[in-house]
Amino acid sequence: MTVLVTGGAGYIGSHMVWALLDAGERVVVVDRLSTGFEWAVAPEAELIHADVSDTAAIAEIIRAHGIEAIIHFAGSISVPESLADPLGYYQNNTANSLALIRTAIATGVKQFVFSSTAAVYGTPRSDGAIAENTPTVPESPYGASKLMTETMLADAAAAHEFRYAALRYFNVSGADPLGRTGQSTRGAANLIKVATEAAMGKRDGIEVFGSDYPTRDGTCIRDFIHVTDLVAAHLDALTYLRAGGDSLVANCGYGRGYTVREVLDSVRRLSGRDFEVRLGPRREGDIVTSVADSTRARTVLGWTPRHDDLDKIVGSALAWEAALARSNHTIDEPAEQSSRRIVLDWTPPHDDMEEIVGNALAFAPVLARRRHSR
């Protein structure tokens, strides 16, 4: 049996592919490579250039490869972008997901794991952790487009022999601890990604949108989850569905929140570098506080996070940025053949960073080799 991963050349999807392969699964990736990268896909997985909205192509892939489960990441993920282009988000996230769900049911796929988001909740009515029964009042087309897909999945499961798990992510960050993949998306807006780029000199600083929120330091609070723990939750969800578990929605987060300023302090401390922080006005669509109650994922799916530490998340992101920065190439251009080793140009301020540095150094030849192998 084989698992189909849509969007498997992207940030979270590429980590998912490695996790599935590590678990002994056979994996087929479908990606149109609009934001993902061919080199990011593990060489043991089969990559097919296709769009999930192409029902004929997806049906043929499912039949030809004996696909028995789909993990669906393909989609657009920016709140500000969704406000500027709402119809594009409803097309890419909702209409294309509808096409994929229809194809899955028509071809007999019975397990479906969906990449949803905490943006479906909107602004919580209280300061406590957000549980799955919290009212869903999305404040952006991004959140609304994901909630619509959840509704389609629920209705499809009620009408067909088809079960799903919709995982509502909080703030996904970090990189594979083994250095095999990380966030490489062009123009990524993820706070930790942007801050680590600033620390590595790839940006001239970072803008903080709003410093007058009713929080402990005036900046927004977010629940940051390591991408490795997130894909582990997907693997647990797949195992649960295969064992006959009922369809469900589950939050993925640690249940603790950090302010924007606290994240920036962690990046400065671990990198040993300062960078400019520009305080700007609040940004439309941003939520003040977003922290997960992940009890359901832990108890029903058996999910056990292993990287619940802000410094560990930031450290893995810094190691990835260091590897990219010193390998003499850009994300879109292959490295020179001779560029096989990375020399980090920052020094860790304490012993806890030794493992991070080691991972970055070890990853240098892997990064170069995989770019040339595709």
What are the b/e assignments for 273-286, b being 16+ CB within 10 Å? bebebeeeeeeebb
Give CA separation, 119 vs 143, 193, 230, in Å: 5, 19, 16
Per-residue pLDDT of the chain (374 residues; tens, 9 = 90+): 899 999 999 999 999 999 999 999 999 999 999 999 999 999 999 999 999 999 999 999 999 999 999 999 999 999 999 999 999 999 999 999 999 999 999 999 999 999 999 999 998 887 789 999 999 999 999 999 999 999 999 999 999 999 999 999 999 999 999 999 999 887 788 999 999 999 999 999 999 999 999 999 999 999 999 999 999 999 999 999 999 999 999 999 999 999 999 999 999 999 999 999 999 999 987 889 999 999 999 999 999 999 999 999 999 999 999 988 766 444 554 333 222 222 223 333 333 444 544 454 444 444 444 444 44
Rounded (10°) angle between helices 260-271 and 191-199: 30
Neighbours of 212 (CB within 10 A): 10
Give CA separation, 209 vs 48, 189, 191, 263, 285, in Å: 39, 12, 11, 14, 11
Distance between CA atoms of 232 and 26, rounded to whole angstroms?
16
Dihedral (CA of 249, 5, 237, 320) sign: negative
Token pair 């050349």: residue: 9
Distance between CA atoms of 132 and 179, rounded to whole angstroms?
33
Q: Which residues contact 288 (CB under 8 A, 6 or more apart)?
A: 123, 213, 214, 215, 220, 221
Which of these is catalytic: 89, 90, 121, 142?
142
Q: Is 142 a catalytic residue?
A: yes
Distance between CA atoms of 151 and 143, rounded to whole angstroms?
12
Domain ranges across the chain: 2-175+225-253+291-299
- Token pair for 256: 């603790």
Distance between CA atoms of 35 and 9, rounded to whole angstroms?
8
pTM: 0.88
Query: Which CATH architecture does the domain made up of 2-175+225-253+291-299 adopt?
Result: 3-Layer(aba) Sandwich (3.40)
